A and B are shown apart, each in its own frame.
Chain A
């Protein structure tokens, strides 16, 4: 496959089309989740290979394995025909594997030039050659056609510009294999075009590119081949000119609907919550109602404004326009405290950051919202504290040795049950679940869904945010689609197809792109 010359100079001389990196049964298991089922896939030298899939399909797991951030559970990775361990990020970088992440992971308080050469500084007699580095960095940036200064603090640039610097940085490091993870999420169209030019240029220099994106039009614009992941399973690879939008979408979501969704339909009662033309930071003009016994699903891509909308309803952020009605009466919710007093409960998206006190006991977490109720004159009733905690542990089947065990010792699914359990104790009537089943195994998912039914049967209403289409599709009585901060479509239960809903959520990007000549 490789010529004798290639063996002497492996980097530049590998013929296009030869395999640079091959995965053989690459697999990753976490306790309780099978994040990536065995993948067999070969990347060719100098190709742009797109990887698409829904959130949780296993894309980020794959990247983490390839960049050595996490060890694989089993399988082999062949780099230029030889097996490699990829046990540390350092090893991956030494091979020439680099990644540009969605979030910029550079030092904001250093200059652009310092970031470009971080770890490979130009040093003479033990002294940094600052001026030379700024000059070299500026030359690289200019060569790439970016109009950016090299001497300013990285933090003074926009996120998009920082992203370009991160990409430029990867080019100076002898990169042979470069992974872009949703690089355009924060870019303007102009910046994205500059990035695409850079990617094409890298390709022409023989660098292999992995391009991960939600945006179909970018995939079709850039990629040579595209691979689809779904629920941690590798579905297949297509040449870009032999496939289309519709086929990819079908591959991404065409899953057997597992028997985990036990949708029970309850009689819808009175409206609990109504928003009228509500606007705030990150969303505009949202009108919807939640009735007793109803699950209202909010579907959209990450950053579509769903979390911002519910946290504003919940009093975290101030609204800029519109009104919120509770039981038909207009209310002003100035803080989370007001929302709780009305009877709202929010199980936030990031349970580690916002939902739990991880290094405190399970029982304390469960009782945190109700200590006021179970204490008299500020002194806690030990008996009630025990009873309330153990009732929830038993009722939700939280797997914990005791209520004294630390929350951090539990699995992700059981932690999520604590987050939910503390609001059951509190006696709320409207539950907002923001991505409640992220990182949760199927069995626990089913239990969480059963819990939804139990809440509904008691007359509660639920707002369910999920980026996992089958979840909202199978559970929501009313499904609202968000796109770029707006509510763009609403459907009743099973009224629209997966394909319709997904294209509604994606469409804005497509149209916007279409406007650009």
Chain B
């Protein structure tokens, strides 16, 4: 039995690894091509810059992936990021210690996620609707709080953080690792992670198996809100202002990263490493297009085409299996 099992186990394992490696290869290929095409790409300033650009979307994509695995979607993450640049800005300017401001902001993200869970579980609203509603309301609330203007943050140490590096790697990228490693353990090695998959695959069967489906849905949206609030703090630190209109369209970039990373929008299929790679592939394309003086409008077109191509080929392969 065991030998038989072992021999057949490999192809399946290989499939996931293979997909990850394909994405990694695509990323490396892009980097090589861009290094050859433009001298400025391989410079350390540019690479550092690219890592900073990609990091925030990468963290958003991780939270987004949890939600998509349950078969849902979180359209509000961009708005949460914008809103969560305002919170720490106001608190720090009001003299709160930075750690407390960060903690409070994370709690705000948490609360928004809980609200989404409430809307979906208790009010029976479709995830698309409730998160779309929060998207527009949060921007509005942020604008009301700031009176429509940006708030400059009067704290150099707070802003230093996102500019500095540790061991030659930008701090923002370290944050991806800080989020990514626990997220990986959570999704692939904890029972909560298994429940995310099972709810996304068949909520009714999961419920009949004793899985607390409501709690699982709350958890997914709460984690997504938390990730978005964390990105909000990082963005506030990076740009040094609080402005609720920031991060426009980031939810779509996060969804795109997730999907490029192999997450199925029908739920029950996804990983943590995939969306992370997906986010950096997107960041590389944008960065490269800038360096090559490609009209920035084209970047959007390229991103769209890339989503179609990758998802189409992934679908072909899954069906072929």
Contact = CB atoms under 8 A, between A and B. Distances in A.
A378 B190 contact: yes
Nearest to B198: A357
B45 interface: no
A338 to B, nearest CB: 10
Contacts of B191: 371-372, 375, 378, 380
B115 interface: no
Interface in A301-359: 336-337, 340, 346, 348, 353-359
A404 B198 contact: no
B122 interface: no
Contacts of B176: none
A354 B205 contact: yes
B209 A360 contact: no
A340 B195 CA distance: 17
Interface in B193-220: 194-195, 197-198, 201-202, 204-212
Contacts of B212: 337
A408 to B, nearest CB: 10
Contact of B210 (A340, A355, A390): A340
Interface stretch (B5-13, B32-40, B80-88, B123-131): B5-13
A486 to B, nearest CB: 26
A364 B209 contact: no
B224 to A, nearest CB: 19
B12 A405 contact: yes
A515 B210 CA distance: 47
A182 to B, nearest CB: 25
A113 to B, nearest CB: 31
B197 A357 contact: yes
B209 A368 contact: yes
B118 interface: no
A337 B204 CA distance: 13
Interface residues of B, number: 29
A379 interface: yes
B206 A368 contact: yes
B5 A402 contact: yes
B1 interface: yes
A454 B12 CA distance: 33
Contacts of B204: 353-354
Contacts of A265: none
B189 A368 contact: no
B190 to A, nearest CB: 5
A354 B198 CA distance: 12
Nearest to B192: A378
Nearest to A401: B8
A375 B190 contact: yes
Contact of A380 (B190, B197, B211, B269): B190
A382 B189 CA distance: 8
A375 to B, nearest CB: 5
B206 A357 contact: yes
A220 to B, nearest CB: 40
- Interface hub of A346, A359, A379 (most chain B Cβ within 10 A): A359
Contact of B269 (A359, A369, A379): A359
A402 B9 contact: yes
A354 to B, nearest CB: 5
9 contacts: A346-B208, A356-B202, A357-B205, A364-B198, A368-B209, A378-B192, A380-B189, A380-B191, A393-B1
Interface of A: 336-337, 340, 346, 348, 353-361, 364, 367-369, 371-372, 375, 378-380, 382, 390, 393-394, 401-405, 422, 426
Given A357-B206, A368-B198, A368-B211, 4 more contacts: A357-B197, A357-B198, A357-B201, A390-B2
Q: Which 4 residue pairs of A and B lie closest in terms of their CB atoms, listed nearest first?
A: A357-B201, A371-B191, A401-B8, A368-B209
Interface of B: 1-2, 5, 8-9, 12-13, 185, 189-192, 194-195, 197-198, 201-202, 204-212, 268-269
